[in-house]
Chain A
């Protein structure tokens, strides 16, 4: 693990296990926030007197000890980029659907917008670049792929992911006790409907 200072109240940790490091960091005194993404975790403290050495010595909490849960998202596979994805994958549209809905995914992190979960576990031939030109508006519920990640847009926004379907799952609801349906570490499946 590499620990880098991030201003007077925070540090950035480079790690292969951001979720495990997040869990471990949250148990340290004075930590108010630990935000994981693909390869890093930002840890914020409540004072400017914090101990970077303690961060470097953190032992990540193993996945088995993290209480994370699971979710299934119903998907209608009729996205506008299905044929593009099939062509780049060198297979049929049916095969794209079979591969995407057959995958076992894990929420690597959330970002971009509230409740937007980046899911890891995409079959290799579906790992494709973003659109050359992002759409100015992607509807809520759109299911897309980008690089090693797949995910669904919780609300309408601009976006550059290749869209292959849509889900009716309520991905973000502020009236729910846990507004985000998908949270870091959770396992996720897509069910073709």
Chain B
């Protein structure tokens, strides 16, 4: 990466030594935790609030504010739960962060625990991240051995345990209340909010749930201060973010950039442009749940406000790139199949809506669509969006709405020609192998 700024989250990626605790400590690791042990919990929260750090899991909620919502006088224990269920299609930055720098996650988690008086923290890792779970188990073993977890951490009188919990192949468990259900030993289905997890979360106790990248941003904020953190990024979206860029690009990968960097820079300068010199057709700013944008939006700054102004969401910062030769109907159908498969079944609009949408989009993609299918699809989003417990349904509706908004003609051409206009002949793509 041709970084012209000081890398933060990825600064030690060139040094495999930091994967082990000795290498991590040699680079100043766990100093932030020691600092935090000398701070009042309220001061830790104020520091993170002042930094403007926003949750990197998709919603962008201010992290310090989230922590401040946790009551510590209820007589119940409080919990920190790390959301490492990273399953949003197109997203893999948490995976690489943990592979290359696992102790920074543990340190950030420990600091969050201090801020809310938590004595047992959990990491929920998706099952398919088998290798990354093993990396974390080894790091946790080292951190216990060095006294950063267990009884009297780092010579203090604070006890803190950390438990790794593996998921088992359910996208929905990245939704925070579903994650809690899963961690409690139930089917991973979302719960009605309120009560919010900050008040009644894990085991009906006050709980903070944070994304991996969010927590890994915390140690530097504690050591270097909020002003330092705000030197990069924008006023409302401070700091840097790890973007994943994939699909039709020359150099897919995870790249750290200041928030507010335009897509053009990520795509053309950092990722080497669209694959094989073709032109940009469509892209997701933050995983498949965020509305598609087009080549017209190439100069959109990648921060929460600018992407929202362009009609989408920054989400997880996972950019998937479609080029001029890619069929938007195919892409929409594949993404919709994902939501139909991953719908937990709790809410009818999502469970039934995604099932039908997959089929109707499938017949359009395969050249059997009818003229009325397109208005049906356009109408469908209205009956799914905001009509279910959680955002899975909204993501599913966004795929359909945004692809029709920007590429309605392409859908109509499929119906008119009885095949994909981008292909010479009739091919059935949506049918199973």
Query: Do A and B share a complex?
Result: no
A residues with CB within 8 A of B: none
